[in-house]
Structure 1
């Protein structure tokens, strides 16, 4: 089980609970998530994607970079399921100096006789019945702390419980909603996607407006078949209409919002986003730019503008119909984006360095803290565009459900450790009972080349030395491995279905497990080989061909030499005069002058 559930030292003092409450302002996830419905996909699959992007020194201690397989279990009558505090349930400030990896028991709920097998980590991903889930964190106007017996649920536990108990998306939404209303909700606002092979639902949640209230607020909306939903750290459900068959919401939603002064019938239809949130998560465009990017990539015919008036813009619809149906590799590519080819392209400009590095370290004003309220907006010193593929990503995945196949075969979790752009998505079958060990181990505080996370994270960081040269090699290997996995899945699907049809469910499970484990091992091994090649080829500023032994020293591009003042370096003895010469540009040309030539003559020549 997950680390926070496995611990036995859960009975803490009231002081510990107070500390846990204070820590709500230090850590959170900043994720991108999407759902591609069967009618919008090329082969009729349902896809749910999630990037688990953590910011801050203590964002997660262990289970953010590793994958956990939780087996199915039977439970005794009268058994209880513990519910634990999630120290990552608050909004983080980049570089925060406090954090906690301690678990705290907040309460119990009645256990069910049988729980399903599922994959999880920071949040639940997919269960054995092809129920898929994705997540992103949102800012809410009110974010209350946990309180045993009053507010015991955060979205992470809710996602896991839904995968333990449900087989359908709407069933999962209804369960999560009932748990929020019965046991209360704490922490940040959250968006969860639940999808089965046929339909997808989005549920968004936050604390009650009244600190004395033990419940919570939630709204859910179905994604129309044939359309794609995307969220990126901002609530996406807007108008809530009573009687809408494609919406669900907490039983006292309207009354609680009216009592809390967040909405009145006189205001007109209830806008969920405006009622419970100020919108953007960290700074203007932090969330909306990612929503625009994915929607614009899939439906350029909509001519969506990346520029909006405010967090409450109505420019980006809840879901869009893609111009062309999306296949699996295109679904992967949605997470592999640095705004290439747009006004916000992170691979260009001075900040990208001489070699087109798209990744940015967190700037002093990139922290995830409130920058606006009901009356004021904070104008910060600056900000970096927030890409879909962020350097602080722990893992990402695209979960796939296929209605034409039995559940053990139809569900595949395509899991990629570390940064999405440079990862390789490995197939994990819903019917497998084990995964490659490399994916289940790892700690951000200790380098371990045997872990899948560090295997991939190292390559991303090494590539930053000369990104423009290395990325083509990385992407070629990535493409080859993923193509091989897709071919392997097609072959395995046929074999597993044949075994199931013949009544050999156990044989099918062994096959699916063997493929899941061996393919994961093979991908990690291949990436180790790639790592060695990249280290040899791009060490010490050189480009060395290991096969031909040819060595090149390309140096920096001319524009970078000019931008960094190379032309003002000590190329003459009159260095002070040289540096006082305005507007000098690097030309790449060399001239000869007599040794006794005056600087004025040299200056005219250069």
Structure 2
């Protein structure tokens, strides 16, 4: 870069502070904003501890309030309402723009579950991640009763295994209709994890089309807003399930000629190939020996990792911004720094990365850099994004009681910066601040803002804050991994002794205490950065 341009970039810092603050709102006008979620799946045979993992980043301006919905029993002939419009509400009791679109028969008994925007974990260790792959517009039928989040909710209320959840979802779609765009949900239980992809059947048809493929034992998979399921072998019931119309509808709709090999992603994905940067990067990072080719027409649906995968490995992948690789968006944001000897005599210059270079630049900041020097920032859709509402990485463990066998490592805001707090499948209460969404406005009582303020300030000089900031993330990650082992042993013993109420109280208290500790530290970081940056830097 030219020195004049570099100086201009440094002098533009004050303007960038304003641009950075608006970046979450600018992203909605970004062509990559539709790539809004990432789900990594790790089968039982691929994890270091024998757990099953599914996960989800809810990337976008979705609700950040979450609750534990209690299981209930019902009399016969009871019905339950089905809703549309809950994804962007401000509190659990906010019914503005929420519409009841129908009813279905109620189950005699329901399980308690963690009610996030896309519901994710129930008391029986059934867990669900989600990513939208959009699909063809002509397949959408808005008169279908079910959006994906309601299908997830009902599956968690009624099912204890992934296969039963897939079967139930298929039955509901067939009877009542699917009214959403192309969606993928990654469904896991204590034994296995599946990828289920769903599309509508067109505006004149109440129903839907779906296929599910199991991540083979010993493998890992990823869904990141692109249909990934290829050829379907329905004779292999151990690895495949699908709607009865999966092929016939493709022929009827002119999306498959009936001669070439049928691939779900080709028929319904509305994409040129079934992967982009996130799928490639994650699978290549876990199985580098395969030498996956980013320019290939296809990469495997799942891969066997070169070494067993820990939950910490998955956490690290969710912080991924490709820094230090050829896809690093900050690699060209360089400045010169004078070098001095011990006598404080100038002896040359070093070229270093600008302190304000960070992988979460908003569209306005990227445009400014490009105007100063074309090619300075080549946008990549990173795994961790600044417009994330929340994310969870869920472990399911069959050797522990259900109360603590399922654990959602949950974080608000940018997963590349925020700490993760543990929420167990046996939890019955959450911190009070979890009741409030912080996406519609700034509000002190919303949990997300207890992290977002420090996160955003840190990006103003990310190259100088990054190392110390990520040490804080690592501290709480290690704290969680260490302390939960002891906690789980205590809970297991209490349950054996029949002291379930004491066990539940301990589970709830631990999540609240852990959350409080992270919020306190992020408040301290916020104050430290205001002192550091308040008068400029």
TM-score normalised according to structure 1 size: 0.74
Residue 343 of structure 1 is matched in structure 2 by: 326
Residue 206 of structure 2 is matched in structure 1 by: 214
Matching of residue 292 in structure 1 with residue 280 in structure 2: yes
Of 242, 245, 250, which residue of structure 2 is paired with 1:249? Answer: 242
Residue 5 of structure 2 is matched in structure 1 by: none
Structure of higher CA gyration radius: 1
d(CA) in 2 for partners of 1:337, 1:234: 19
d(CA) in 1 for partners of 2:102, 2:319: 40
d(CA) in 2 for partners of 1:364, 1:239: 42
d(CA) in 1 for partners of 2:193, 2:78: 31
Instruction: Give the 3 Å change call, closer, same or farther, for CA 106–188 of structure 1 in structure 2.
Output: same
Matching of residue 82 in structure 1 with residue 88 in structure 2: no
Residue 540 of structure 1 is matched in structure 2 by: 535
d(CA) in 1 for partners of 2:158, 2:406: 17
* Aligned ranges 1:35-46 → 2 under 5 Å: 35-46=41-52
Residue 66 of structure 1 is matched in structure 2 by: 65
d(CA) in 2 for partners of 1:440, 1:346: 36
Tell me how far 1:28 sits from its aligned partner. 6.4
Unaligned runs of 5+ in 1: 1-26, 90-99, 367-381, 543-606
* Aligned ranges 1:173-572 → 2 under 5 Å: 173-208=166-201, 210-245=202-237, 246-267=239-260, 269-279=261-271, 288-308=276-296, 313-314=297-298, 316-350=299-333, 354-362=355-363, 384-542=379-537
> In 2, are the aligned partners of 1:135 and 1:193 still within 8 Å (CA)?
yes
Tell me how far 1:37 sits from its aligned partner. 1.1
d(CA) in 1 for partners of 2:170, 2:366: 35
> In 1, are the aligned partners of 2:329 and 2:378 still within 8 Å (CA)?
no
d(CA) in 1 for partners of 2:504, 2:408: 16
Local SS of the residue matching 2:507: helix
Unaligned runs of 5+ in 2: 1-32, 89-94, 335-352, 368-376
Local SS of the residue matching 2:185: strand
Matching of residue 169 in structure 1 with residue 162 in structure 2: yes
> In 1, are the aligned partners of 2:142 and 2:203 still within 8 Å (CA)?
no
d(CA) in 2 for partners of 1:183, 1:39: 37
d(CA) in 2 for partners of 1:518, 1:354: 35
Local SS of the residue matching 1:464: helix
d(CA) in 2 for partners of 1:435, 1:414: 14
d(CA) in 2 for partners of 1:508, 1:446: 37
Local SS of the residue matching 2:312: helix
d(CA) in 2 for partners of 1:187, 1:353: 44
> In 2, are the aligned partners of 1:185 and 1:216 still within 8 Å (CA)?
yes
Tell me how far 1:483 sits from its aligned partner. 1.2
d(CA) in 2 for partners of 1:38, 1:288: 26
Local SS of the residue matching 2:173: helix
d(CA) in 1 for partners of 2:511, 2:459: 31
d(CA) in 1 for partners of 2:403, 2:256: 46
Tell me how far 1:157 sits from its aligned partner. 0.6
1:546-580 superposed Cα distances (whole Å, 9 cap, x missing partner): xxxxxxxxxxxxxxxxxxxxxxxxxxxxxxxxxxx
Residue 568 of structure 1 is matched in structure 2 by: none
Tell me how far 1:105 sits from its aligned partner. 1.7
1:298-350 superposed Cα distances (whole Å, 9 cap, x missing partner): 11111112334xxxx22x21111111111121111111011122221023223
d(CA) in 1 for partners of 2:412, 2:366: 28
Residue 38 of structure 2 is matched in structure 1 by: 32
Tell me how far 1:364 sits from its aligned partner. 12
> In 1, are the aligned partners of 2:43 and 2:220 still within 8 Å (CA)?
yes
1:163-188 superposed Cα distances (whole Å, 9 cap, x missing partner): 11110111111111111111111221
> In 1, are the aligned partners of 2:68 and 2:427 still within 8 Å (CA)?
no
Tell me how far 1:450 sits from its aligned partner. 3.8
d(CA) in 2 for partners of 1:272, 1:28: 21
Local SS of the residue matching 2:120: strand
Instruction: Give the 3 Å change call, closer, same or farther, for CA 493–152 of structure 1 in structure 2.
Output: same
Tell me how far 1:101 sits from its aligned partner. 5.8
Residue 159 of structure 1 is matched in structure 2 by: 152
